[in-house]
Every structure is written in C-alpha cells, then in structure tokens.
Amino acid sequence: MLAASADVAPTPAPNADGRVLLRKMKSLLRFVATLGAYLLTFELPALAWAIRSLPDWTSEPAVRNRRQYRVLLARLFDSGLPTAGIHLSRDADRDDIPIGRPLVVIGRHAGFLNFHLFSHLVFEDFHRNPRMVSNLAMLADPGHSVLLRQQSMFYVRRGRTGRSRTLRALAKLGAGMKTTDAVVIFPEGANFTAKRRARAIRRLEERQRHDEASRARARRHTLGPHLAGVAALITAIPTCDVVFVAQVGLEALTEWAAPLTYEPPDPHTVALHWWSVPAEQIPAAGLDFWLQDWWDRIDTWVAAHTGDDGEN
C-alpha cells in the first residue's frame, strides 16, 4: 500500500483547484519571461560570439571560452533574470570555501537553468573553474554546449555498459583536477518532479530495497541520490573538499508542466545555501550512508524554505 500511494501526487481539495490553476498560469508566464531574458542575455550572445570566433577557434579555446562563459553567466544572473523579476539570495558565507584545493560540488537538481546557476556559483562564489557532469539533454542547449565545447563537460550515458564507462571516465576526470577547478555533479540525475519521485520510490520497492524506499518517501523535495558517480570522483581526488549546495525557487518556473509534491516559495527569489566539508572530514568508508544523511539535511532545508513540513 505504501508503494502504491507514492505513485501519484497528492490530489488537491476541490476548493483548491482554482488556486492550483492560477499558480500554474503564473508559473507559465514567469517561465516565458525568464526564457526571453535567457535568450537575450545568454543564448543568442553565446551563439553570436561562437560564430565570430570561428577563425581563431584554435587559439587557447578553453581559456577564451571559459572567460566568455563567465561573462555571459554574470550578465544572465545579474541583469537578465532580475529583469524578469527573479533574484538570487545566498544565506551562506563565501569565505566558507577555502582556496587551494579542488572542489567536488554536489547539488540538488531542480528547475530550469539549474546548470547555469551552478556554473555561475562556482565562478563567482567558489572562485573556481567549473567542470560539469551532465546528462545528454544538455546537448539541446547549443549556447551552453558551444561555450563548454573545449572544457570538461562530461555527459553521462545510460545503460549497464554506459554506467561502467561513465564511472571510469569520472575517475579520470577527477584525477585531472587542479586546485583551481570544481567539478559539479547532481546525484539525483534529473530535475525533481512529483512523477520522478514516485517512480523512483516504486522502483526501490520493486527491488526489495524497502529501507531506501522508506527514506526516499520521507523526503518530499528531493530524489534519491545515486552514490557511484560521487564516490568515483571523491576517490579519485583524495585532497578535494566537498561542497553540498541546496537551492529552491527555479522549479517554480516549470511547475505548470512538471507538478511538484509541495508548493514552491516566493517565485521571485532563488534561495541558495551551501555546506563545506573539508577533505579531512570525508569518511574513508560508508560514503553511501554519509551521502544519504546529507540528502536528508538538504531536503530539510528545502522544506524550511517552502514552509512545507507535511506528509503525503
């Protein structure tokens, strides 16, 4: 019965139907405004810059691309999104991130422009060069792909063969990290939605992994994290510090198309918080339990910022 109840999102009360519909309409309007700001301040300038740069493409492409990527991200988040009525709010101290070690940034995956947000965060707050671990869906963003073409943008492949190859490649990526680099990975693998959460819980139950399913059911704002990729990176970079990043707000932009299990917070604010874990405090064993505990903390933080601590 528990597994079956996770298959559907909570049904709103009849008197709430109008409020839900209005929220979805507002979400669609905000998405359109944000998409327009994104196209004007990032996507189109990125493609135009790439076309102009074609004759000199072989001249320090990684450095040149990274510089332009940072400039356009700053334009997007400092002027583009505020024009659409969206602002970033950080409640963590930038000084918490020490300089001199490579970083593994482990983030909650939720919302439109999630990857752009984390790249911007790595540049401006963590003072590192971002290396991104993504699924193949990001190839549909030509501006993003063009600017990261010569950088470490690693695409995860599905399937049993793809999984083993992915883990080997992640270990190689980690081994090549510099102290000025930060690799960003999203253990959930996809943006949070009510359907994905329900499907993940159902699969855990079908595989008789009832303890994990129970823990995943208790989290109403995150998908269950996958350990293997995180472990491959951390093991390959024994001197790395780890930064866990929680964010909430971007998912409100796509609520019209991807219903959630909770009501998003103020749609005009994207709130961010991070926790820094020095290399010396990362456990040599039991990484699975360690990551699950951190995911509980991230889910609790999101709940506190949505005013949602109920149960489905």
pLDDT tens track for 114-172 = 989 999 999 999 999 998 887 666 667 777 777 776 556 666 666 555 677 778 878 88
Residues 259-282 have a mean pLDDT of 88
Residue with tokens 């990001």: 138
Q: What are residue 172's phi and psi, to 5 degrees?
A: -65, -40
Nearest to residue 240, comparing CAs of 177, 170, 172? 177
pLDDT of residue 4: 42
pLDDT tens digits, 46-61? 888 878 776 554 454 5
Cβ neighbours, 10 Å, residue 190: 13
Residues 225-250 have a mean pLDDT of 90
pLDDT of residue 137: 67
pLDDT of residue 7: 46
- % of the chain exceeding 90 in pLDDT: 39
The chain-wide mean pLDDT, for the chain, equals: 83
pLDDT higher for 241 or 286? 241
Please tell me the number of Cα atoms within 13 Å of 175 on its side-chain side. Answer: 7
Q: In the 3-class helix/strand/coil scheme, how is the chain assigned residue by residue?
A: CHHHHCCCCCCCCHHHHHHHHHHHHHHHHHHHHHHHHHHHHHHHHHHHHHHHHHHHCCCCHHHHHHHHHHHHHHHHHHHHHHHCCCEEEECCCHHHCCCCCCEEEEECCCCCCHHHHHHHHHHHCCCCEEEEEEEHHHHHCHHHHHHCCCCCEEEECCCHHHHHHHHHHHHHHHHCCCCCEEEEECCCCCCCCHHHHHHHHHHHHHCCCHHHHHHHHHCCCCCCCCHHHHHHHHHHCCCCEEEEEEEECHHHHHCCCCCCCCCCCCCCEEEEEEEEECHHHCCCCCHHHHHHHHHHHHHHHHHHHHCCCCCC
Q: What is the pTM of this model?
A: 0.86
Residues 260-285 have a mean pLDDT of 88
pLDDT tens digits, 94-108? 777 888 899 999 999
Per CATH, the number for 2-306 is 3.40.1130
pLDDT of residue 31: 93
Query: Roughly how many angstroms between the first and final C-alpha of the chain, as a whole number?
Result: 13
Binned at pLDDT 50, 70 and 90, residue 285 comes out as: confident
pLDDT higher for 281 or 227? 281
pLDDT of residue 151: 56
pLDDT at 270 over 60: yes
Residues 2-26 have a mean pLDDT of 61
pLDDT of residue 2: 40
pLDDT of residue 1: 38
pLDDT of residue 210: 87
- % of the chain exceeding 70 in pLDDT: 84
pLDDT of residue 228: 84
pLDDT tens digits, 180-203? 999 999 998 888 888 999 999 999
Q: Domains of the chain: which residue ranges?
A: 2-306
pLDDT of residue 5: 43
Binned at pLDDT 50, 70 and 90, residue 224 comes out as: confident
Residues 268-294 have a mean pLDDT of 91
